[in-house]
Structure 1
Amino acid sequence: MDFEIRKVRSAQGPRKLYAERAECAYRNLFDGLKGKRPKVGAPRFKSRKDNRQSIRFTVNAGWKIIPGVKLRLPKIGDVQVKWFLTLPLTLSTMTAVNDAAGRYFASFVVETDTNEVLPTVAPEIGIDLGLPHFAILSDGTKIGQPPLLRRAEKMLKRERQRLSRKTKGSSNRTKARLKVAHAHARVADRRRDFHHQLSIKLIRENQTVAVEDLVVKGLACRRMAKSVHDVGWSAFTVMLECTVTRYGAHLRANEPVRADISGVLAVRRQGRPQAPACPRLGVRTLRGRP
């Protein structure tokens, strides 16, 4: 009887966690239908064929950290890990993730100090996001954008061609698919690192940050869709918001400036120098030559 009670108690944690996740998914679905947030799809069961797999262990699951570079997981054993941060003594939940590139990550739920704030500074700054430059600050500073996807296009093309030549269902195709996924993951990691460093720098130097609330979905349906997705405006805005919330700064989202097309055309026509007319034919050309 005692064993059955312990078994039920250990199962209550994951069941409660999954119920909360399902409730959050359905709440996001109905809020999207009501217009409170962007629309999302209905929750679905996880497939075994998904490229991203994850498993979550609660405190009662029996996992623990072994002194050194090992992590003991139930029904798996000791796993060699590479620590990036020093973890506190109290850990509540651990999630093991296998991404599409075949890499394994372990994330932990810990309690952090809510009083961790940066020193208050006076400056306020505005950010104008764009394509020629990733951002132009209100003080005139221009931040260039790293052409991450453009730089890796040749390698991605070569790996995708090798993948297309492999027989479906073979082990060689699986290896080629992992190489393509690893190449995409490397581009995404570099972009995420650039966004993280820039957001931290802006929050450390400024107390209030104003940024445009761009509709990326509408901007990414034209010829510049690849360039728009390459810079990652939405990911940078979300990371900036998380950084502001953590360190006690202020973030203000402004509506993008909507210029009148007729006004823009009038300004262009007035600003363009007129080409001289040909004295023999009387024709005015764009380059000033008949």
Structure 2
Amino acid sequence: MFNLTYEFKLKPTTKQAAIFEDWLELCRRVYNYALAERKHWFQSRSCQINACSIRSEFIIPAEAKRPTYAIQCNALTAYRKTSIDLQQVQSQVLQQTLKRLEKAFVSMWEQNHGFPRFKKAGKMRSFVFPQLAASPLQGQAIKLPKIGLVKFRKSRPIPDGAKIKQARVVRKNSGWYVLLSLQWDVSVPSAMPHGEGLGIDVGLTNFMATSDGLLVKRQRFFIDAQRQLKLLQQRVSRKKTGSNNWKKAQKQVAKLHEYIANSRKDWHWKLAHQLAGNAGMIFVEDLNLIGLSRGMLGKHCLDAGWGQFLAILEQACFKHGVYFQKVDAIKTSQICPNCGVETGKKELSERTHVCSNCGYTTDRDVAAAQVVLMRGLAAVGHTVKMLGEGKFIGIPANQESSRL
């Protein structure tokens, strides 16, 4: 199976947009009610056997089972028969809301995420149709259950043989969008190591450095817009909370944030396609991005968007048939790529790599990218050869003897 997601901008009528808003609010209430039910069950089991909480106490029978996705779905089905409001929403949309809550708890248990929070009014921004009709697309419109045909801007054609498995309706500041999950009954082979290798090192002084000497300056999308963002947020703080002028000011802030995110993503895609079009293998560092974002330079790390860029680069490599792999990031800036000797830790102000053993001199970030390339080539079973002037070549182990 091969899965892909296409995003299109919807053009709903005023009535359809009102239905979308109502469904989002009902999904938010279902989410909060189910979360409160789970939270009360946990709190009722958190006190000691011989003592009660001073603040509050939740008395739930001992035989009551922990609220799970299946139990809450059954309860929702029963309650929906008596609720006129919930009957307006497609039943599977509400079930997907409960599944979304279940995923939040699984992330808390398995990935050490925080306890799920209640959603304020307006914070629920999407709902999912897990099943659609056999042929939901009709020209420039898509047929959604219980809503009907909704026009959308078909910016690119749907590939032949693709089945639309589900649709997610998303509300953004710029309008409504639909994300179509497409599926093909084909098996796409993964790209094998071939061609010329390229090592990439990401940073803050230079957003990216490659093993062949390319340095790309970091674009300061959020930092450059910070002054305008501060002005807009000051306007929000001076308005009466909940008033129409307050909502308009909030919309201006959201519009600027969306512009920043779109600009960063567009630049990442263009850079990723440029790199993937000129290499056969790309190796990057396996970084602890969460730890970096919580450090002293966290705002700048988040503004650079390394995680998004690496994810986009992997997708671009898949489209171009380029082999992509992450390698160990430990001490990439402390090893000489020419002789392999550990040169020691460098201060951030040291921007040039000078090896005391062999005298190899190059930019610090370029040297780290060359170390990344060497580790990647070694991981795929290639012998690393240096051609001079900082250029490396990887020769498959079974072909090394024929090249010598």
- Please confirm whether the aligned pair reaches a TM-score higher than 0.5, indicating the same fold: yes
Q: Tell me, yes or no, if structure 1 residue 252 matches structure 2 residue 313.
A: no
Tell me if structure 2 keeps the 8 A contact 1:70–1:80.
yes
CA RMSD of aligned residues (A): 3.7
Q: Tell me, yes or no, if structure 1 residue 83 matches structure 2 residue 157.
A: no
Give the partner amino acid of 2:108: L
- Shift of residue 73, structure 1, vs aligned partner: 3.2
Cross-structure match for 2:240: 167
Tell me if structure 2 keeps the 8 A contact 1:213–1:253.
yes
Cross-structure match for 1:176: 249
Tell me if structure 2 keeps the 8 A contact 1:57–1:63.
no
Q: Using the alignment, how far apart are the partners of 1:220 and 1:17 within structure 2?
A: 31
Cross-structure match for 1:203: 276
Q: Tell me, yes or no, if structure 1 residue 140 matches structure 2 residue 199.
A: no
Give the partner amino acid of 2:109: F
After superposition, residues 35-46 of structure 1 pair within 5 angstroms as: 39-43=112-116
> Between Structure 1 and Structure 2, which shows a larger proportion of strand residues?
2
Q: Using the alignment, how far apart are the partners of 1:248 and 1:137 within structure 2?
A: 16
Cross-structure match for 1:28: 107
Q: Tell me, yes or no, if structure 1 residue 65 matches structure 2 residue 144.
A: no
TM-score (norm 2): 0.53
Cross-structure match for 1:109: 181
Tell me if structure 2 keeps the 8 A contact 1:117–1:248.
no
* Higher RCO (C-alpha 8 Å, min separation 6): 2
Give the count of matched residue pairs.
250
Tell me if structure 2 keeps the 8 A contact 1:71–1:80.
yes
1:80-112 Cα shifts (integer Å, max 9, x gaps): 32122212463221111113x252110111124
Q: Specify every segment of 5 or more residues in structure 1 that has no aligned partner in the other structure, as ranges.
A: 1-10, 33-38, 269-290
Q: Residue 150 and residue 72 in structure 1: after superposition, are their counterparts in 2 closer, same or farther (change >3 A)?
A: same
Cross-structure match for 1:288: none
- Shift of residue 72, structure 1, vs aligned partner: 3.8
TM-score (norm 1): 0.70
Q: Using the alignment, how far apart are the partners of 2:249 and 2:203 within structure 1?
A: 35
Tell me if structure 2 keeps the 8 A contact 1:126–1:209.
yes
Tell me if structure 1 keeps the 8 A contact 2:126–2:170.
yes
Identity of aligned residues (%): 25
Q: Using the alignment, how far apart are the partners of 1:262 and 1:56 within structure 2?
A: 52
Q: SS where residue 250 of structure 2 aligns?
A: helix
Q: Using the alignment, how far apart are the partners of 2:196 and 2:315 within structure 1?
A: 20
Q: Using the alignment, how far apart are the partners of 2:295 and 2:114 within structure 1?
A: 24
Q: Using the alignment, how far apart are the partners of 1:232 and 1:56 within structure 2?
A: 27
Q: SS where residue 154 of structure 1 aligns?
A: helix
Q: Residue 185 and residue 142 in structure 1: after superposition, are their counterparts in 2 closer, same or farther (change >3 A)?
A: same
